[in-house]
Structure 1
Amino acid sequence: MPADLLDLLVAEHRRLESLFADVETAPSPERRRAALAAAAAALSRHAAAEARLLHPALREHLPAGPEIAAYEEAEHASFVPLTAERFDAVRAHMQQEETELFPRLAQACPAALLHRLGDLLRSARVTQ
């Protein structure tokens, strides 16, 4: 069975971690700037996908969903502009999503909907 929305978002988290590591280990200032630009672009796409697909599901399927989605949106806004000093905050945010938020949504949201949302995310990635 294809990955659902939550699986895809976790995979994106791993990709962001890899991009952050590229910034942290860049051998020159030029490569560090390029790696930071790539990480910032990926984080921006990821945040947009969460705003478009995850946050509406949170609002609809979790009892405190509107408040959780608003908190998530405020967290994302605090990461812009992305700097290496904010990597720890982004990492903590991703960890919280994976260990607390995604499992709650997986229990509350119909699996078919999460798969449809995953399909939407995959198709959006193909067109970018």
Structure 2
Amino acid sequence: MDEQRQQAYLTLINALLTCPSGEEGQTLQDNAELVDAGLLETMAQVAEVLAERGDENAAQFLIGMANQLGELLGLSASTATPGVQLRFLMQVLQATSDSRGNPQVVYPLLQKNLHLLDDNFARIL
């Protein structure tokens, strides 16, 4: 992937993060030439950086968007990076501890993040 395309991906990701809610589809349509596996990979990388900086909402937004786009394109979104999965594991363990194992707290967290539960997650665990 060349530097110019990478910058275009980052510009599109920034546009998605800053556009008004509900306008993401139009933003993607306006940049349809960039919607490919490279965009999904870049979204995963940006999501990991955002999560490291503590911006979990933006990170989860990008992961969810990448997963949806991956399904539409028939591609694996590859958003389940080891760093994202490790942070998710820590979140699950904290929720389990805080709720004393209450399934009404832990199960919805797991359900919301099924895309992170794969063979790599098992290795991290």
TM-score by length of 1: 0.31
- Bigger RCO (CA 8 Å, 6+ sep): 1
Structure having the higher helix fraction is 1
